[in-house]
Chains A and B, each alone.
Chain A
Amino acid sequence: MADYVLRRILALIPVFFFVTVVVFMIVHLVPGDPIDNLVRIGVTPEQKALIAARYGLDQPLYLQYWRWLTLVLQGDFGSAIVLRRPVMDLIRENIGYSLTLGGLALCFSALVGITTGAIAAAWRNTLVDKSIMGVVLLGSTVPAFWLGLLLILLFAVTLGWLPVSGAKHWTALILPVVTVGLGGMALVARVTRVSMMDIGRQDFVTLLHAKGVPAWAVQVRHVLRHALIPVVTLLSLRIGLIVGGSVTVEYVFARPGIGSLLIRALGQRDYPVVQGCLLMLAMAVMIGTLLGDLVQAAMDPRQREESR
């Protein structure tokens, strides 16, 4: 197992370099540049060139990339052009909010999704199943920002139970977490339900019953355990979303976060900030996938061997 973990981590190194290239190219190939956001209208091209030279934007792309990459490898994401502050500081200020919201939303998706999915599978084709799947259908089709507005209207404005927005008190987290987590919860519930029903049809489950294992234990200890293997994959793919996947919801609830930082920086073509944020997102996706694979390998001995 230790051997497997090491190989999976080493395999991420080339992926990381490829990602840096893509992030850098995307940012620099978008039309427009950050200088326009710094200067007043009517500046001469000569003055603009001077500013560009100060930030190294006049150099060939490969040189700019090399300079950025060497900085990144030292843990420095450079300085924001428009905001005039180190990108690392900006990310540090915002990432806590993103991780809290995204992490809690992921936990909400996982816990509520698995529980409701398992309940729906156990009582399949009954009213319980149909009501759960109805909510799940809503959860997977309603856009998060609109749902957020509805929740604010009901719980914050009409009932007054929870704050409308902000990030000062923990109660202010409840509505955003539900808003962000509902889509994931719906997906998790569906996958759990289908995969439990699938596993339930297999021979070894019949044999577990034939052994005299109590029906609930067959479902929870054996069937659910198998059903969680695809759910883990699904959740690991959503880890990447923890960091930046809730931009619209951050806007609706007026919360800071990496998503909001990224959108603002994009508007201003603030290359170092955009690159830094995108790199953080990409790394979150990479780490998420790695974690998912490792958890799967821990859960299923067959996977450890196949990739040997």
Chain B
Amino acid sequence: MLLSVENLQVQFGRLQALAGVSFSVNRGEVLGLVGESGSGKSLSAMAVMGLLPLSGGRVSGGSIHFDGTDLGSLSPKAYRKIRGGKVALVTQNPMTSLDPVVRVGQQIDQAALLHLPVDRTEAKARTLALMDRLRIPNAEMVYTLYPHQLSGGLRQRIVIAMALAGEPDLLIADEPTTALDVTVQAQIIQLLIELVQERDLGLVLITHDMGVVARTCDRVAVMYCGRIVETGPVEAIFASPRHPYTRALIGCIPRHDMAPGDLVGIPGVVPSVAAMPSGCRFHPRCAQAVSRCFTEVPPLSAAGDNHASACFLTDQPGEAS
């Protein structure tokens, strides 16, 4: 396993934001980390990157192994070598992810200079090659521009180039297309998939869009309120979703054969970290909830090959609603 997260717990002060999250990714594999805002997807990414202290959080339990190394045991300096060099991050909003006063080319160079034995000339040559690969037109010219002079799609390609410049083995893409035009979204996702195959990368694709997951991921982990509620191969998740939350998420994908008014959201809202419901955290929004769901936490239990769901009703596979 390239990345293996075991029972990860994250706390902000006394509030527990992640309550035992486990997932893993292999080389050449795309793992979709799915859930609504506030489910803990981004937090898991920040925990893997070792960047929780920036927002005042800390890992309070569990482990993160990368390529056999326990990241939790690393010194800050050693962790810094991992960031950008082994594990790289692509963030959600390309409008705010680039330093507005530094030329984009130099921002890409910086990652190579930090992690590879290259000088400035070499770094620049690599950057230009990378920009070409990411289908950035006029790479030489774009290299000298500032972020505000580029379109959203181009900026996101720069962010991806920046992530790849340090030659990482694992890419964590946190909603990489949310802020982009629909037409550009598909191109960026396509590019990421190509790169995974070309460079034998592991990719954790964080998204709330089940449509994107269906098209791109090999495996899926569905998160809700700081827990994994269902995990499995993408085919199994879509063919026989076991958790009511997964079914509800799939129900949110619009289809062309739907009648007007058929598209439904999920009733209710994600509860806040400070007021987590007891038992299964989804029970207040779940139509099938039984009395057990109010008091007991359902464990993640097998529901097929590599497929597991944290629901007492897992044994009864349901239709995607």
A119 to chain B, nearest CB (A): 19
Residue in contact with B96 in the complex, picked from A203, A213, A222, CB distance below 8 Å: A203
Identity of the chain B residue whose Cβ is nearest the Cβ of A210 in the assembled complex:
B89
What residues of B have a CB within 8 angstroms of the CB of A206 in the complex?
51, 54, 91
Of B108-116, B236-244, B307-315, the segment with at least 4 beta carbons within 8 Å of chain A is: B108-116
Identity of the chain A residue whose Cβ is nearest the Cβ of B77 in the assembled complex:
A214
What residues of A have a CB within 8 angstroms of the CB of B49 in the complex?
209-210
Q: Is B232 an interface residue (CB 8 A)?
A: no
B212 to chain A, nearest CB (A): 21
Contact B101 A300 (CB under 8 A): yes
Contact B89 A203 (CB under 8 A): no
Chain A contacts with B in 264-308, Cβ cutoff 8 A: 299-302, 305
A305 to B145, CA, bound (A): 12
Contact B100 A211 (CB under 8 A): no
Given contacts A203-B93, A302-B146, contact A210 B84 (CB under 8 A): yes
Interface string of A179-219 (1 = CB under 8 A from B): 00000000000000000000000111011111111110000
What residues of B have a CB within 8 angstroms of the CB of A207 in the complex?
89, 91, 97-98, 159, 162
Interface string of A53-90 (1 = CB under 8 A from B): 00000000000000000000000000000000000000
Q: Is B166 an interface residue (CB 8 A)?
A: yes
Task: Give the dominant DSSP class at A's interface.
Answer: helix
What residues of A have a CB within 8 angstroms of the CB of B81 in the complex?
212
Interface string of A208-249 (1 = CB under 8 A from B): 111111110000001001100000000000000000000000
Q: Is B58 an interface residue (CB 8 A)?
A: no
Interface size class of B (residues with CB under 8 A): 20 to 34
Residue in contact with A208 in the complex, picked from B93, B99, B115, CB distance below 8 Å: B99
A208 to B166, CA, bound (A): 13
Interface size class of A (residues with CB under 8 A): 20 to 34
- Choose among A202, A212, A214, A215 the residue with the greatest number of B CB atoms under 10 Å from its CB: A212
What residues of A have a CB within 8 angstroms of the CB of B99 in the complex?
204, 208, 222
Residue in contact with B83 in the complex, picked from A202, A210, A225, CB distance below 8 Å: A210
Identity of the chain B residue whose Cβ is nearest the Cβ of A305 in the assembled complex:
B148
A301 to B49, CA, bound (A): 31
Given contacts A203-B93, A204-B99, A302-B146, contact A211 B51 (CB under 8 A): no
What residues of A have a CB within 8 angstroms of the CB of B35 in the complex?
none
Q: Is B88 an interface residue (CB 8 A)?
A: yes
A302 to B51, CA, bound (A): 29
Contact B146 A212 (CB under 8 A): no
A200 to chain B, nearest CB (A): 8
What residues of A have a CB within 8 angstroms of the CB of B96 in the complex?
202-204
12 additional A-B residue pairs with CB within 8 Å, beyond A211-B83, A212-B84, A226-B100: A204-B97, A204-B100, A209-B49, A209-B83, A211-B111, A212-B111, A213-B110, A214-B80, A226-B101, A299-B101, A300-B100, A305-B148
* A-B residue pairs, 4 tightest by C-beta: A212-B84, A210-B89, A203-B96, A211-B84
Q: List 29 A-B contacts (CB under 8 A).
A: A203-B91, A203-B92, A203-B97, A204-B97, A204-B98, A204-B99, A204-B100, A206-B91, A207-B159, A210-B88, A210-B91, A211-B84, A211-B114, A212-B81, A212-B166, A213-B110, A214-B80, A215-B76, A222-B99, A222-B102, A225-B101, A226-B100, A226-B101, A299-B101, A301-B146, A301-B148, A302-B146, A302-B148, A305-B148
